[in-house]
Amino acid sequence: MAKASSGKTKAASGGRGKKADKKRRSVFGRILLCLGCLLLAAIVFLFTAPLTETDRSGTVAGSASWMASLPDNIPLNELTIPGTHDSATAFCQLAYITKCQYHGIGAQLQAGYRFLDIRLGIQGEDLILMHGFTKCRTGAFFWDETLTLENVLSDCYDFLKANPTETILFSVKQEHGDESVKEFQALLRQHLAKASGSWLLTDTLPTLGEARGKIVLLRRYADEAGLGREAGIPFLWDHQGGHGDITLDTVSKDNGTYTLWVQDRYEFDTDDKWNAFVRGILNSRTGDGHAAVQFLSTKGSFVQGHPYAFARKLNQTLTLNNIPAGCGWIVVDFGTAALAQHIYLSNFSR
């Protein structure tokens, strides 16, 4: 009888152990399911939140031709020109951290923006628009096509054909890939040659009259192909990352035929960025062999930021402040027509 009782005890103990293991597996499974749901929700949020960040402010009459009444002899570097940062990122992979604009290139030009920040990578025989390692697209969904340089140039050519009094400052950077600058230049030159009459290729800063109806190429790379004036205007400056020292200021860079002053402190948080922007305007020079670019865009001090959160506050602050004439080219994230007008109207207060 004692042996039988011992057997029953062992059997009962084994049963309880199996039940406990089953319960633990059940709890572990629920935890995994919850974590999976949280991860899925985070992914959905990161992909869908940027779709709600839209511009409802409308258009501004006259913005498509605001340069028309300015004199031909004024140098472009003496104008206050509105521009967009990472101009092609209205639709981009990982949009929560890479989207920087509401609108595509054509709409930006119609809104009054005349400086475009173009980041390119090589894909076969194409040059495609990129932000870091991510690709820009023609639409918001994963099945939409990759945005190519030809897409962007088509918008630019159409705009200038309809508005020949205007010009476009086309700042080009080789954003991603292992190809040499020389290879990049060769491919870019092929694309430009398809509509060579629409380009002003020079290494000096032109007047508005010289640039009307043209795209002015600004290159953020060395002329390794040895193209000389046809390589475009050198538009180089040293990297300006770093959020530890909030006193970092505008820097100047000798670009051969002129000196470029740049404030691009893209890792400052809102207040520090605004202060750097104001210091940039006060400390930069324009005219007489000098040009200035003031970036209002920032991703903040985190490793990966959300540009929209900063742009919403900084753009509003800019609209509440007067912009002095001749303070340089002002480059923003999430640009609206009203913001572009606020910037370019300073040219008429001289």
pLDDT per residue as tens digits for the range 169-197: 999 999 988 899 999 999 999 999 999 99
What are the beta bridge partners of residue 295? 331
Whether 152 and 129 have beta carbons less than 8 Å apart is answered as yes
In Å, how far are 76, 206, 207, 324 from 73, measured between CA atoms? 9, 9, 6, 20
> What is the structure's pLDDT at 11?
56
Q: How far apart are CA 3 and CA 127, in angstroms?
A: 83
pLDDT at 7 over 70: no
> What is the structure's pLDDT at 14?
61
Whether 260 and 203 have beta carbons less than 8 Å apart is answered as no
Residue-wise pLDDT for 265-292, tens only, equals: 999 999 999 999 999 999 999 999 999 9
Q: And the tokens for 107? A: 């709409």
Residue-wise pLDDT for 208-234, tens only, equals: 999 999 999 999 999 999 999 999 999
Q: Which of 13-17, 85-89, 135-139, 230-234 has the lowest mean pLDDT?
A: 13-17
One of 3.30.450.20, 3.40.109.10, 3.40.50.920, 3.20.20.190 is the CATH number of 66-348, namely 3.20.20.190
pLDDT at 5 over 90: no
Mean pLDDT, residues 103-119? 98
pLDDT at 101 over 90: yes
Exposed / middle / buried, residue 33 (Cβ in 10 Å: 0-12, 13-18, 19+): exposed
Residue-wise pLDDT for 62-84, tens only, equals: 999 999 999 999 999 999 999 99
> What is the structure's pLDDT at 6?
58
CA angle at residue 199 from 169 to 83, to 5 degrees? 10
Mean pLDDT, residues 83-112? 97
Whether 84 and 113 have beta carbons less than 8 Å apart is answered as yes
pLDDT at 10 over 90: no
Mean pLDDT, residues 125-154? 95
pLDDT at 313 over 90: yes
DSSP 244: S
What are the beta bridge partners of residue 136? 92
In Å, how far are 187, 223, 331 from 124, measured between CA atoms? 10, 22, 31
Chain centroid, CA 225 distance in Å: 26
Whether 255 and 234 have beta carbons less than 8 Å apart is answered as yes
Residue-wise pLDDT for 15-39, tens only, equals: 666 666 777 777 777 888 787 887 7
Q: And the tokens for 84? A: 């967009």
With pLDDT > 70 as the criterion, what percentage of the chain qualifies? 91
Q: How far apart are CA 55 and CA 76, in angstroms?
A: 29
pLDDT at 2 over 80: no
- C-beta pairs of 190-199 under 8 Å, 24+ apart in sequence: 191/127, 191/149, 191/150, 191/153, 192/217, 195/153, 195/157, 198/156, 198/157, 198/160
Mean pLDDT, residues 312-321? 98
- The residues spanned by each domain of the chain are 20-52, 66-348
